[in-house]
Amino acid sequence: MTTQTATVMLGNNSMSKIFTATATDGQWNNLPDSLSGSNLGILIPNASINRAIGTYDAGLGAYRIINAQTLAVSRRGWLGLDGYSCYASGAIPVHRVMPNEIVQAYVQPVDTTANQSNVLAWVHTTKGVELYESLDTVDSTLTEMKTALQDMSIGDASFNSTVTSISLQAEDQCKVISLSIYDSAGGLIWNVPANYRMPAAGGTSAYYNFEAKGLSIPIGKGFTFKVTVKTA
């Protein structure tokens, strides 16, 4: 297993705290406060926050604020490449920190094999939100994305629900050619082009290659969510 530094700044217009750790790639890692070593809910219980800005060393990564007892996730988003964070882009809906909440990061490295990339996606449905991933994604090859921890297809994880938004992040310098959803017979239900993310030329965000809200895509049994990419 490889590791890298993951950092998330949480705060509001008058204060901020830094949560960081040496994170193991491919799993959710707890990030304690950089000064006291305390978890989020112990450090600033009942505080209201409206900013979450995170970074990783190289590759790609996501963060979440989760209740350590109930496992309810209150906020989630993307980390950015170290040196390319953005305060304005880090705005989140105002959140009141609960005493049992912690900050976690999920990171993956740059794929070291030529013409292969790692990809993550937050998929929001009427059933909930799941982090999907595709590792070792071969260039110009339609590849299925499955839930990061359970390895489930979208047709199993989100059966009988409706996709309402998708946000996708590929590793540094990787171009996402397109995203697609197919039915159980292999018929194309939905397809959109995507692009780079900054600092690559052509990117519009430092945090995602593609993001769409207000979707209404019904998911049936056997449906698949696929991505096509091209490395730098």
Residues 148-186 pLDDT 10s: 999 999 999 999 999 999 999 999 999 999 999 999 999
pLDDT at 1: 79
DSSP 41-105: HHHSTT-EEEEEEEEESSSEEEEEEEETTT--EEEEEEEEETT---TGGGEEEEEEPPTTEEEEE
Residues 44-87 pLDDT 10s: 999 999 999 999 999 999 999 999 999 999 999 999 999 999 99
Residues 82-110 pLDDT 10s: 999 999 999 999 999 999 999 999 999 99
Residues 113-156 pLDDT 10s: 999 999 999 999 999 999 999 999 999 999 999 999 999 999 99
Reading the block at residue 80, the tokens are 């950015």
How do the domains of the chain map onto residue ranges? 3-108, 116-230
pLDDT at 28: 98
